[in-house]
């Protein structure tokens, strides 16, 4: 128990790890871009970063970069994972350079960093470069296998040196370095002597300059073709370049002549976008190779994703798009806690929009209509609503919480709607589960819907479905320490206290409300012998049952206004 002082004592008791609400701001977007990693979920946190990786302008027939812009127009900065989709025909541009041998061989391949015709605008320039240029501090005699230099800065075992006495040159590869005495060693004696007065020693490396449409964008100095040194070209450039990767084509390193010969600007060629034959299967992807939608498998905590205006070259793109929406809904259902924001295709009437939406059923899908007009370089472009809604959802969650319905959120960037939905049309669309954007005088363009595609009343509203996912993921992550704990009444009490504390906090934020008991708890947590009998405990199963009442949404606000010419009645 320890010792206490006379009077009041304060000691720290054992605390339980609280359950924190997870973020609902982790988003995904699939689309077609001129550049960027293919079939890989790449995190971008702002528009500038997204445009640097995936390009500013869309490929012909696509709008994905503008959809990314629509997302960030609302959130400013956020967590957006972009998956670039293309067909297997997509290819990277490249250029092969030859070495300095008397009979030149291929030695270095410069690749565009990723697939697309954008890489065909790249040029590469190779020049001689020396990390170190110095002099011998003592004469290097004939047949020498070592040298003492004025400097050895930057040299490593594996560095190639040129020895020059003003008349003759020869080349050696360093096998050992004595840093304290500034000495280097090599194998095989020298043919010539190198007096201190007339001789120089320099290392043999090369520089690689990258040009984009004849504009110098990157310079890589001091590169080697010897993979034994830290400045080997592949090691240096690796993932550090925004434009290229390089490949050492030599299986065996010999000497300085492996270096690529100096050249003038050489164009990369062979880049292909892979969009002339991209189809629904490329978006559907293959689970084993994590292509298409399965690239999102790597994104922990993914909460919402979109696929705005995918380019489909199937024989019947409309049929292919309908199949794709169903496939992406199936993916959301498989991941359980993920929601897909879908779009009605461009050019549909309200009646046609309802017909399209009726193809689907599920609480993890919302279907939005119509498209929105934006201006890009003074040219009108129409974009699907989904990426606008994605941004509005994230911003709304941050400002109000996931329990706030997505309806009535202001949409920036857009200047008009493709189709002005009337009030009667809006009623029909809303009852059919088609969410809309409408333009209001003085209030701009706003989301004006918030229903899922579920046929069940319990999941009619989008925030019901998203709140369930939010609470579910928060409990799963917050109670991750429970498995393998002793299953007894102490565990029950611990879990109940933690879950109730979490739900009480959510209720205080307005996420839960029970109209039948407005001042009481809007949740119930049960974990006792009634739902954890001995035979279940023997199987290693611990069950906590959590029931809550989500706050509703004032979707249809009614003002009852009465005119009383005869005066008010007084009770």
Q: Is the peptide bond before 463 cis (omega within 30 degrees of 0)?
A: no
Residue 10: its pLDDT value, please?
A: 87
Cα 351 from Cα 424, distance rounded (Å) = 12
Residue 565: its pLDDT value, please?
A: 86
CA distances from 28 to 39, 41, 284, 552 (A): 12, 8, 15, 27
Q: Which residues contact 70 (CB under 8 A, 6 or more apart)?
A: 372, 374, 383, 387, 388, 391, 413, 414
For the domain spanning 26-88+275-462, the CATH number is 3.40.50.11780
Residue 252: its pLDDT value, please?
A: 87
Q: Which pLDDT tens digit goes with each residue over 40-68?
A: 999 999 999 999 999 999 998 899 999 99
What is residue 489's three-state secondary structure? helix
Per the CB < 8 A criterion, the answer to whether 44 and 53 are in contact is yes
Residue 514: its pLDDT value, please?
A: 95
Residue 102: its pLDDT value, please?
A: 86
Is the pTM of the predicted complex or chain greater than 0.75? yes
Nearest to 34 by CA among 93, 122, 116, 94: 116
Residue 570: its pLDDT value, please?
A: 65
Q: Which pLDDT tens digit goes with each residue over 262-282?
A: 999 999 999 999 999 999 999
Residue 470: its pLDDT value, please?
A: 97
Structure tokens, 302: 């993914």
Instruction: Tell me, rounded to whole angstroms, the distance of Cα 249 from its chain centroid.
Output: 32
Burial of 136 (0-12, 13-18, 19+ CB in 10 A): buried
Residue 447: its pLDDT value, please?
A: 97
CA distances from 500 to 77, 332, 404, 504 (A): 33, 28, 21, 6
Residue 12: its pLDDT value, please?
A: 81
Beta bridge partners of 232: 224
Cα 111 from Cα 223, distance rounded (Å) = 16
Q: Which residues contact 89 (CB under 8 A, 6 or more apart)?
A: 272, 274, 276, 277
Residue 571: its pLDDT value, please?
A: 57
Residue 564: its pLDDT value, please?
A: 87
Domain ranges of the chain: 26-88+275-462, 94-130+205-267, 133-203, 485-571
How many other CB atoms sit within 10 Å of the CB of residue 250? 15
Q: Which residues contact 424 (CB under 8 A, 6 or more apart)?
A: none
Burial state string for 112-134 with b = 16 or more CB within 10 A and e = fewer than 16: bbbbbbbbebbbbbbeebbbbeb
Crossing angle of helices 350-357/423-431, nearest 10°? 10
Q: In tens digits, what is the pLDDT along the chain, a chain of 571 residues?
A: 678 999 998 888 776 778 999 999 999 999 999 999 999 999 999 999 999 999 999 998 899 999 999 999 999 999 999 999 999 999 999 999 999 988 999 999 999 999 999 999 999 999 999 999 999 999 999 999 999 999 999 999 999 999 999 999 999 999 999 999 999 999 999 999 999 999 999 999 999 999 999 999 999 999 999 999 999 999 999 999 999 999 999 988 888 999 999 999 999 999 999 999 999 999 999 999 999 999 999 999 999 999 999 999 999 999 999 999 999 999 999 999 999 999 999 999 999 999 999 999 999 999 999 999 999 999 999 999 999 999 999 999 999 999 999 999 999 999 999 999 999 999 999 999 999 999 999 999 999 999 999 999 999 999 999 999 999 999 999 999 999 999 999 999 999 999 999 999 999 999 999 999 999 999 999 999 999 999 999 999 999 999 999 999 999 999 999 998 888 766 5
Residue 395: its pLDDT value, please?
A: 98
Own/partner contacts of 508-515, CB < 8 Å, gap of 24 or more, are 509/401, 509/403, 510/401, 510/403, 510/551, 511/401, 511/402, 511/403, 511/467, 511/550, 511/551, 512/403, 512/548, 512/549, 512/550, 512/551, 513/549, 513/550, 513/551, 513/552, 514/549, 515/552
The CA dihedral of 457, 463, 469, 473, to the nearest 10 degrees, is -150
Nearest to 296 by CA among 565, 553, 35, 26: 26
CATH topology of domain 94-130+205-267: Immunoglobulin-like (2.60.40)
DSSP at 282 = H
> Edge-to-edge, what's the strand order for the sheet holding 266-267?
215-223, 205-212, 122-129, 266-267
For 436, list phi and psi in degrees, rounded to 5.
-130, 165
Residue 440: its pLDDT value, please?
A: 95
Burial state string for 203-234 with b = 16 or more CB within 10 A and e = fewer than 16: bbbbbbbbbeeeeeebebebbbbbeebebbbe
Residue 3: its pLDDT value, please?
A: 86
């Amino acid at each position: 128990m320890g010792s206490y002082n006379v009077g009041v004592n304060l000691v720290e008791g054992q605390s339980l790890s609280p359950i924190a609400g997870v973020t609902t701001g982790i988003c995904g977007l699939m689309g077609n871009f001129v550049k960027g990693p293919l079939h890989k979920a790449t995190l971008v946190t702002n528009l500038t970063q997204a445009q640097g990786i995936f390009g500013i302008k869309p490929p012909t027939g696509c709008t994905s970069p503008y959809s990314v812009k629509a997302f960030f127009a609302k959130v400013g900065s956020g967590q957006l994972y972009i998956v670039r989709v293309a067909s297997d025909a997509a290819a990277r541009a490249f250029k092969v350079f030859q070495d300095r041998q008397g009979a030149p061989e291929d030695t270095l391949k410069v690749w565009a960093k990723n697939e697309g015709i954008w890489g065909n605008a790249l040029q590469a320039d190779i020049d001689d470069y020396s990390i170190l240029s110095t002099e011998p501090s003592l004469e290097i005699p004939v047949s020498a296998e070592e040298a003492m230099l004025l400097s050895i800065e930057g040299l490593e075992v594996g560095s190639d040196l040129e020895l020059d006495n003003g008349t003759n040159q020869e080349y050696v590869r360093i096998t050992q370095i004595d840093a304290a005495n500034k000495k280097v060693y090599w194998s095989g004696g020298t043919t010539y002597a190198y007096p201190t007065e007339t001789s120089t020693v320099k290392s043999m490396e090369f520089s690689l300059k990258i040009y984009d449409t004849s504009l110098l964008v990157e310079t890589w100095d001091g590169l080697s073709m010897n993979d034994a040194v830290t400045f080997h070209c592949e090691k240096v450039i690796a993932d550090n370049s925004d434009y290229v990767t390089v490949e050492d084509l030599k299986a065996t390193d010999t000497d300085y002549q492996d270096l690529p010969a100096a050249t003038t600007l050489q164009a990369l060629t062979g880049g292909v976008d892979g969009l002339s034959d991209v189809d629904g299967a490329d978006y559907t992807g293959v689970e084993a190779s994590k292509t298409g939608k399965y690239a999102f498998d790597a994104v922990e905590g993914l909460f919402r994703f979109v696929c705005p205006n995918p380019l489909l070259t199937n024989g019947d793109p409309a049929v292919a798009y309908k199949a794709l929406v169903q496939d992406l809904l199936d993916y959301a259902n498989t991941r359980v806690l993920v929601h897909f924001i879908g779009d009605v295709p461009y050019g549909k009437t309200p009646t046609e929009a309802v017909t399209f939406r009726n193809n689907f059923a599920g609480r993890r899908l919302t279907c939005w209509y119509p498209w929105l007009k934006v201006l890009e370089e003074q040219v009108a472009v129409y974009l699907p609503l989904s990426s606008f809604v994605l941004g509005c959802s994230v911003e709304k969650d941050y400002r109000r919480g996931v329990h706030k319905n997505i309806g009535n959120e202001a949409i920036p960037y857009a200047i008009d709607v493709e189709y002005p939905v009337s009030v009667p049309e809006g009623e029909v669309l809303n009852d059919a589960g088609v969410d809309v954007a409408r333009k209001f005088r003085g209030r701009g363009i706003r989301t004006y819907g918030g229903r899922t595609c579920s046929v069940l009343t319990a999941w009619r509203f989008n925030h019901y479905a998203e709140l369930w996912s939010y609470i579910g993921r928060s409990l799963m992550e917050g109670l991750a320490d429970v498995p393998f704990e002793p299953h007894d009444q102490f565990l029950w009490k611990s879990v109940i206290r933690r879950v109730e504390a979490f739900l009480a906090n959510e209720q205080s934020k307005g996420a839960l409300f029970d109209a039948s008991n407005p001042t009481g708890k809007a949740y119930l947590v049960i974990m006792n012998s009634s739902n954890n009998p001995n035979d279940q405990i023997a199987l290693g199963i611990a069950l906590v049952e959590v029931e809550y009442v989500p706050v509703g949404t004032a979707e249809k606000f009614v003002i009852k206004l009465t005119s009383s010419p005869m005066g008010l009645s007084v009770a």
